[in-house]
Structure 1
């Protein structure tokens, strides 16, 4: 009986965790370049049940497998492209890489990324091209992370008035810097760290590298555009409702077990 309570409880906890991912997706539906997370729900290891036969020499009869519930293991970003939106702002940049082929080494579709440097001097990656020029003249994200050039140094500009040509930011005075575009053939190694910023946690051999070192040229950078979030509001709302119903179903099971235990203790076990 108690095993059933544990199973129902695990289902409630998994539903709650999945709902957190869905809520985060919904709250970032308007965040440029945001990639929605898909919750991965797995089952705990199953146990094999056998019927013990103590009256004969026959081998034990297999009854079946017993599951001890499920859990939400992780959230995996979905790296489909978002809708392109024109803004007209010179500092807004959008990556178009839908035509990148499947990577032969990983068997997965690769992805292009901007590189940024955080306050603690770590390199992170993003698809959110909603950049601005700081007071110091650095091209930065909304969090203040500095966008990198091909030397992995922060891009510094004299003003917001520049044009993008062949991946290079060309200023009116003739100064130009080429923006660093990273490529990885294993997007699953990227973990979201908020506002569309990713941290690499996969194999170093597949870490984002300068796309110029690859043979892939099926990408462009568009100025005055932003890539929208790939969150589908209708699908997300439907998933949230289904997840809530799954939580309620496990809750009713738990209540049923609670009532059964109450009856066993207070009625069946009563001594007259």
Structure 2
């Protein structure tokens, strides 16, 4: 009975974090270049649920074992009613009757999430386990899975994905929801014309590079100014980087090319460092509208393919109506789980005060 308390409590804790993130989004809806955050959650591992008495004949389960296999390229979608698939998560081994996975860069079967381009991202995925509990390695061979859940590579069996449950197992159960990570959505914001020659807006995927005391960081906030030395800086005083380091100007009388060229008197004197980043999901917010790369990850730079527009600023990508609806839904979910805990508390109180008297 107490499992429901843990489930409701974990849901309330997750809702509280969602509310914090949504509130922060709304507070920054007028912040230049701000990008929306979303909370990514996951269920705790699914564990086997056993009968208290009696058992189920495993042979009858094996006889009706059938796996529905759908393959698209290197992606496999499997489901079965005669057993369970298992995956190695950070919180332990999880079991399910359906699964979606592909082949990662190292040749292992692994679950994934899709990035903004729709491609599999394995960094947040879990390894698929064989019937014996080991990771399934397929390499770069021709991979196929038959209707018994057996993994075949170039015609040779390398693993069996379906685990027949122990006697007495009637299904799976988990302990609720947990916070997985906070993900930033780098969708383009709308442009606002300012007429200020030191206001820059990036159209497309890319970032300005700025020099901070903690090293080089990245930003979409193009609200710049000049310091006492004539260098282009952010509102916090961090240097905007060009090909030769800081960008020096004698005045605001300059033009900016679409690729970031700084033109003075029809002569290119410098060019803003504009970079594209492949692994956007590994960027972390630092504050002051800056981003840095997660220390455990490697920065993957790609060529900047957008353009930079002078005299404009990019607004946030926050939709205030959408955020308000999210906030209302989160509050309702929080209140619902609060009622569940209150009901459990009343039941336990009766069990202690009334049943205990009998």
Short-chain TM bin: 0.7 to 0.9
* Residues 98-117 of structure 1: pairs in structure 2 closer than 5 A: 111-117=205-211
2:242 corresponds to which residue? Answer: 149
Change over 3 Å in CA distance of 1:246–1:143 after alignment to 2: same
Partners of 2:243 and 2:2 in 1: CA distance: 60
Partners of 1:89 and 1:163 in 2: CA distance: 11
- After TM superposition, the score normalised by the length of structure 2 is 0.65
Secondary structure of 2:357's aligned partner: coil
Partners of 2:333 and 2:50 in 1: CA distance: 31
Return the match for 1:187 from 280, 301, 314. Answer: 280
Return the match for 2:213 from 81, 105, 119. Answer: 119
Secondary structure of 2:350's aligned partner: helix
How far residue 14 of structure 1 moved from its aligned partner, in angstroms, is 0.1
1:15-38 superposed Cα distances (whole Å, 9 cap, x missing partner): 000111111111110111111011
2:13 corresponds to which residue? Answer: 13
Unaligned runs of 5+ in 2: 59-166
2:170 corresponds to which residue? Answer: 63
Partners of 2:270 and 2:312 in 1: CA distance: 19
Which segment drifts farther, 173-182 or 259-268?
173-182
How far residue 247 of structure 1 moved from its aligned partner, in angstroms, is 0.5
Q: Determine which structure has greater relative contact order: mean sequence separation of CA pairs < 8 Å that are 6+ residues apart, divided by chain length.
A: 1
2:29 corresponds to which residue? Answer: 29
Which segment drifts farther, 254-263 or 165-174?
165-174
Partners of 1:66 and 1:38 in 2: CA distance: 26
List, as ranges, runs of 4+ consecutive aligned residues in structure 1 with deviation greater than 3 Å: 56-59, 171-175
2:125 corresponds to which residue? Answer: none
- 8 Å CA contact retained: 1:34, 1:195: no
Secondary structure of 2:49's aligned partner: strand
Hey, which of these two has a bigger chunk of strand by percent? 2
Q: Check if 1:39 corresponds to 2:21.
A: no
2:308 corresponds to which residue? Answer: 221
2:356 corresponds to which residue? Answer: 269
- After TM superposition, the score normalised by the length of structure 1 is 0.84
Which segment drifts farther, 136-145 or 71-80?
136-145
- 8 Å CA contact retained: 2:33, 2:315: yes
- 8 Å CA contact retained: 2:257, 2:308: no
How far residue 124 of structure 1 moved from its aligned partner, in angstroms, is 0.5
Paired residues in the alignment total: 248
2:331 corresponds to which residue? Answer: 244
* Residues 78-93 of structure 1: pairs in structure 2 closer than 5 A: 78-93=185-200
1:193-213 superposed Cα distances (whole Å, 9 cap, x missing partner): 22421111274251x35x3xx
Unaligned runs of 5+ in 1: 98-110
- 8 Å CA contact retained: 1:33, 1:228: yes
Partners of 2:171 and 2:41 in 1: CA distance: 22
Hey, which of these two has a bigger chunk of helix by percent? 1
